């Protein structure tokens, strides 16, 4: 970890930063119970524990005032009709936002507040997306062929609360209908019970 200001390269092609500290990989088996079509999930998993997405993190102290940053790459694919997506989370410190910059691919960010308000924004190359403080966020790759690649930066003290989303998912699911992405209600969704 540097203790002086630094730069690094972020190539649009491929999107892997020239310097990184952690490479996180998330496979199908880590998304147990998150996809609506449980039968398709089981069939896929029996064949292969497919790599769904990867994150390259640049390490910084997890402290207020720092910015944690990196790149996520979500591979194309579906479980049943539902596109490959990240787990999604609230920040543990709810009052922390996040900036995303789409390098390549096509997708959407599904967001919601603890009160159940929802919002979905599209990702296109060159587009900046700002996730406001308090909004849970999950990114979804809606391309049939290409990776969705984006840069992100968020406060060092944010932390991640995955369990609220793991319990009931997001209010909206992103599925393919007639060859195009569509947003449907998640039948498992319940208003999050946050303490
Ligand atoms: C991103 C996400 C990253 C992977 O860095 O952590 O895209 O998504 P999950 O953490 O939901 O698996 C971010 O939002 N950080 O706060
Ligand atoms: Zn986040």
Low-confidence ranges of the chain (pLDDT < 50): none
pLDDT at 193: 65
Q: Output the residue whose Cα is nearest ligand 1's atom 8.
A: 86
Nearest ligand to the C-alpha of residue 31?
A: 1
Q: Spell out the SS3 assignment of the chain.
A: CCCCCCCCCCCCCCCCCCCCCEEEEEEHHHHCCCCCCHHHHHHHHHHCCCEEEEEEEECCCCCCCCEEEEEEEECCCEECCEECECCCEEECCCCCCEEEEEEECCEEEEEECCCCCEEEEEECCCCEEEECCCCEEEEEECCCCCCEEEEEEEECCCCEECHHHHHHCCCEEEEEECCEEEEEECCCCCCCCCC
Ligand 2 centroid distance, CA of 47 (Å): 31
pLDDT at 191: 77
pLDDT at 180: 97
Closest ligand 1 atom to residue 158 Cα is 16
Q: Which residues line ligand 1 (CB under 6 A)?
A: 26, 55, 72, 86-89, 98, 137, 139, 152, 154, 158, 160
Closest ligand 1 atom to residue 57 Cα is 5
pLDDT at 1: 87
């Amino acid at each position: 970890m540097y203790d002086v200001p630094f730069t690094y390269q972020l190539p649009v092609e491929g999107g892997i930063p020239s310097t990184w500290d952690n490479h996180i990989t998330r496979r199908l088996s880590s998304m147990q119970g998150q996809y609506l079509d449980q039968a398709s999930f089981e069939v896929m998993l029996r064949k292969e524990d497919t790599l769904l997405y990867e994150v390259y993190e640049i390490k910084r102290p997890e402290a207020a005032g720092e910015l944690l940053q990196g790149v996520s790459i979500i591979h194309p694919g579906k479980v049943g009709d539902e596109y490959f997506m990240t787990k999604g989370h609230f920040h543990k410190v709810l009052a922390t936002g996040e900036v995303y910059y789409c390098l390549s691919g096509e997708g959407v960010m599904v967001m919601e507040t603890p009160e159940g308000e929802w919002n979905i924004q599209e990702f296109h190359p060159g587009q900046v997306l700002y996730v406001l403080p308090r909004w849970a966020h999950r990114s979804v790759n809606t391309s049939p062929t290409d990776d969705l690649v984006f840069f992100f930066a968020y406060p060092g003290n944010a932390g991640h609360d995955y369990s609220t989303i793991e319990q009931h998912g997001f209010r909206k699911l992103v599925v393919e209908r007639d060859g195009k992405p569509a947003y449907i209600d998640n039948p498992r969704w319940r208003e999050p019970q946050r303490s």
